[in-house]
Structure 1
Amino acid sequence: MLVAAAVCPCPPLLVPEVAAGAAAELEALRAACDEALAALVAARPELVVVVGTGPEAEVWTEGGAGSFHRYGVPLVVRLPVGGVEGPELAPSLTVGAWLLERAGVKLPTHACAVPADAPTDRMLGLGQGLAQLADRVALLVMGDGSACRSLKAPGYLDERAEGFDAALAEALGSADVAALAALEPGLAAELKAEGRAPWQVLAGAAEGAGLTARLGYRDAPYGVGYVVATWN
């Protein structure tokens, strides 16, 4: 049963060593993520599952490691599963593993990568399955909002982006499972909102769980929508 979830964005710049001189610009975002992880741990889950996008569907149940070498930073992080290194994590999950390590989480942890274009019904079903893995399951859901919030954004400016992110923040901040399930894959893809599939995994896992939510952060630095929320 799902007892808690932390929703965080996954830009590599969240890691101070990667951000370097620009690290201070995302300090408020890091603080919000830290609070979300603390709330997740406080729910006393038996199992944590990190969910994020990846090039293909893949599951890590016996450990996993990811690095920030591609950004010129000699930093390696691992899922907290008995010190086993395991196969390489998808980039979004690597940021999730970094957040868990930063928070000192020592709980059994699995990880699940889903393609950004995965069908909604499949994501809802996956979430339902993840919620049944233990009596007390928590999800760390990694995903960015629209990357089209400004002229300098990775996806350039799209006037629909601000409304999309506003509706997303409302859904994540109120545990609105139906609204998350109703996110349109096509629109999300056009706005380069890669968190759509992971958020719908959360919707499936939270169905019937009766969780409440709190929005911890909502902004669009660098023209990308970032939302942090806690569900418990």
Structure 2
Amino acid sequence: MTTFQAILSSSSLYIEFLSAVIAILKYNKIKNTYWKWFAYYLITIFLLELNGKYGFANFLQYKKFYYDFFVIPFQFIFLYWLYAYQSLKNKKIFYIFSIIYLLSTIPHFYYLEKMRNLNSLSYTIGVFLLMILIYFEFIKQIKSDNIINFKENRMFYINLGVIIFYVGTLPFFAFGIYSSKSTIYIWKNYITVFYILLNLMYLLFIASLLWGKPKS
């Protein structure tokens, strides 16, 4: 990891910390809405990342399991819930997508020696399902009168952040398994892109808390 990448990596933790702090400061305004769970999500993600960085500092061989079997599934399931269950008001899609994604992770427990390949598959499926929800949310926002006041639309910022990070970094996870000596330079530099997009996503999450107005 280059010096610049190390700086980006450290800054991502600080930005996640900032998002958690702002979520706490804004909690009283959203505590009677489902957005309180988004505040809990940001706080939880910061604590999970903090644990991943320092709690597993001496257990690096288990760090991948921690992210693959807990952190990443937690993120996907929460986003499915936020999009399908709450914003789109479609509980059936939430349950169906959650089950499909969780089923795609089951092979990990039986083929740990090939987990890198399997993880790429489950992550790709997770992002593909998320892209469907992003599309439906995008259509909903376009058809709604709220598009005029998009600056006050909390889901506008979240949708943009999710698109930037998950769609932008999909090649890094989905096709990284095919990197070879001839392409390793590309993948090493893609890490820089990964951290930049991660930081942008959480900055947009912060914007949603600062400028968005909950309606339910």
Q: TM-score, normalised by structure 2?
A: 0.29
Structure with higher Rg: it is: 2
Q: TM-score, normalised by structure 1?
A: 0.28
Structure having the larger proportion of residues in helix: 2
Structure having the larger proportion of residues in strand: 1
